[in-house]
Amino acid sequence: MHDKDKHEYAELVTALVDNEINDSLLQAKIRTLSESDPDLKFEYHVQTTIKRTVKNKCRFAGCPSSLKNRIMLDLRTGKFPEETPASSKPVFSLRP
């Protein structure tokens, strides 16, 4: 396998781990290659470990039902809060 092919398959390994590949033949080919090629096997291991770690560390937290109800009401009525200029409030803040 050429380096270019290996790089492309390494990217496909990532897509496979993320369940982004719908073609079952391509899935099987990538699995077979990742079992037989040491570099792709390592890449598969890295990607699955990263995915598992992120899933375990970043737990889902639902929003409060009061917020959901307010958003649903705004969507149904078509009334949305006044928009403020983008510079007035930060979109996000970083916490130490």
pTM over 0.85: no
User: How confident is the model at residue 91, as a pLDDT?
Assistant: 60
- CA–CA separation, 90 vs 10, rounded Å? 38
14-31 per-position pLDDT tens digit = 999 999 999 999 999 999
- Ranges of the chain with pLDDT below 50: none
**Structural domain spans, the chain:** 3-57
User: How confident is the model at residue 31, as a pLDDT?
Assistant: 94
User: How confident is the model at residue 74, as a pLDDT?
Assistant: 87
User: How confident is the model at residue 3, as a pLDDT?
Assistant: 61
Q: For residue 59, what are the CA distances in angstroms to 6, 14, 23? A: 33, 21, 30
User: Rounded to the nearest 5°, which phi and psi values hold at 81?
Assistant: -60, 155
User: How confident is the model at residue 61, as a pLDDT?
Assistant: 78
